[in-house]
Amino acid sequence: MSKKIAIYCRVSTQMQSTDRQKEDLLAVADRFNYHVDEENIYIDIITGYSVGEDRPRYSALLEEVEKGNIETILFSELTRLGRNSTELLAEVQRLQNKGITLYFDKQDLWVKSDKKDLGSRILLAVLAITTSYEIELFAERSISGKINKVNNGGGVGGDNNAYGYMNDENKKMVIRKDEAIVINRIFNMYADGRSTIEICDILNSEHIPTSYGTRIQEFKERRKQKGLPPKEYRYDDEDNFRWRPSAIAKILCKELYKGHRTITFHKPQVDKLEKKEGKEKEREIYYTYDVQLEDLRIVSDELFQRVKDRLEKAPYNKNNAIKHDNLLKAKLICGECGSNFSVGKQSDNATKYHSDPRTYKCYGRVNRKDKPQICKAGAEIRQWKLDGLVLTLSLRMFAQINITETNENRIKKLSEEIADAEKVRNDKQQQLDSLDSDFENQMKRLSRMKGASEKIARKLMDDAEREYESASANLSASIAKKQEEITSKSITINRLKSLAQHYTNLTDKMDEIWQNKDIVKSMIDEYIDRIVIYKIHPMWNLVIVKYNNGSEFWGTVKAARYRNDEMFFDEMVCKHGIEFQAWIINNSDHCFSYDKKKHTISYNGNNDIYSAIPKGTYTYEELDKVLHETNWIGSFPFYDFENQSANTNPIPQEPIPDFMRDETDYSHIDWDKHNEKVLKRLAKKK
């Protein structure tokens, strides 16, 4: 009578082969004159000692058992069915209850559905306990072997195949020189402001092999050298050989690249762990290997720290900066809670001085299910206000920097970025050309289908057309964006080359910088360390700009609409439209300090510029009054960064309200003289 026979195979990792198990069990079936259909061969690839492991093909086998389509199952050994005695005997009982006969080749043991077969049941119980003990013993010996290996400098676990490393002929972990160059480049690109997506585009455009792609090719080559037949891998396609942002992110966090090697070995636990509230209990640590190995260092501590600092300042948030240019987001920190800032859109029906509603907002204020609110005092400030204030505080410093000397480095960097952008653009164009060609061939092939298949062909053509249009639009948008980047940076290079030659005085140089958004952005990125914002008053924010050269400037920006007497305009002074009242304080000598708990400012009196200000501790209102009385109140114009020109065209001036021309008298304050005094010491601090 024909029997319905099934084979079940299981290996520990995707790189291991099931060929031997399958061939051995087919030989067993042939020995017993069993025929096994290919569809009744079930193979799982899973982690060796994972707990609560998912076995999808075994589950599929059980479904066929439930349907009555299987009578006998062949296993290579007891451990293929269960990793411990409890699990093994439970699975055997389950299959016996369904009338299934089991055969385990290694133990040469038949387990029949007849529960009267007492001898087999006793033997099975003894073998199950023995097998469980052997597994535990093997696991502990395996861990001990790995510990000895790593202590002797060998690669194990994730380190073994980490990008940038390999085992030499002595099985010692060493650096791969070609991949180490890529690692250094990745770290430098990210530290210099490139995103993980941009880095992926650049590496893919240069066809630099990924870690996965390289390792797969090496596995294939080793099989070939050993005379083994080719093996199919689960992710053996071109798309999986491309760099992905997730892979870049993992590389940037890996301390191994600065020579710090740490591996934690957990005590083997074959039995399934009890689960509590859906989470597994923590596994007991068996041994920790934690050493600094300079011969495995690929990146410097300084470079690794620069990357780490940037990663810490880039938490997940709803980032509208992808859709809109912004000037300061990467530099902003909330002084109240320590959070970074997101960019967003503010709903406001109040009269606006400028139509752009986008804001910088403390990310700690965000409140949603996956991210509870942690900050109630954090600021939300219109971008054009804060951009204008910070640029006003910084502009003279930027102009006094030796433009000729520093421009050479910036031009070199921009030229490298243009070269990278051109490679990415060309790679995207090649992908688009290939997509066009594949789509055309697919349409031709489907159009030749006749008869009953025409309806199916039409549906396939419609689906293919939708996929093509979506992919084509995405690639075209990427190409256009890269071309805009190339053009913009080329213009900036030309402006930088001519900047030092076309000014007659400091004011002209400041105007040159103000009028070019790319130069402004590059100088903000290069010279400002961070911008800390405090809620000093219910209506006012204190903005502290800290520069890389140790200088520090303070300013204020209102959290609400400015009153008439808080705005200023003079055609001789205000070249960029209306200006708004603000503190503009040079605190490079750190003579002012802020207490965020008390919302007070202390002045130690040790500054010649502010000699008219009495030493003491002030509230916002008190210091604001003193600054007015001593003519140390400043002002700033708005700065529309996104719509600002990247060439020499001047920005449109804000219309001047009649009330400011006719009724408001600002003659008692010499703003130009004030700004000259406040900013004059910046050059000495660079």
Q: pLDDT value at position 656?
A: 43
**CA atoms within 13 Å, Cβ hemisphere of 641:** 26
Quick one: how far is CA 609 from the chain centroid? 45
Q: Is residue 246 packed enough to be buried (19+ CB in 10 Å), middle (13-18) or exposed (0-12)?
A: exposed
In which residue are the tokens 């948030």 written? Answer: 317
pLDDT for res 397: 84
Residue (of 596, 590, 575) closest to 675 by Cα position: 575
- C-alpha neighbours within 13 Å on the C-beta side of residue 213: 15
10-residue stretch averages of pLDDT, the chain, 686 residues long: 77 62 89 89 69 74 90 86 72 84 86 62 61 55 61 62 81 87 92 88 90 78 77 60 87 88 65 45 64 85 86 54 69 92 67 62 85 89 92 86 65 86 89 87 78 71 84 86 83 70 66 83 87 95 93 93 80 76 92 95 92 94 93 88 56 41 41 48 40
pLDDT at residue 316 in the model? 45
Q: How far apart are CA 495 and CA 499, in angstroms?
A: 6
Can you tell me the distance from the alpha carbon of 683 to that of 641, in angstroms, rounded to the nearest whole number? Answer: 25
DSSP alpha helix (H) spans, 260-300: none
Q: Which residues contact 59 (CB under 8 A, 6 or more apart)?
A: none
| Residue 530, pLDDT score | 93
Q: Which helix (H) or strand (E) holds 382?
A: strand 380-382
Q: Where are the beta strands (DSSP E) in 521-671?
A: 528-537, 540-547, 552-558, 567-568, 579-586, 592-595, 600-603, 616-618, 633-637
Q: Which tokens belong to 585?
A: 């304080």
The C-alpha atoms of residue 513 and residue 520 are separated, in whole angstroms, by: 6
Task: Reduce the DSSP state of residue 109 to 3 states and report it.
Answer: strand
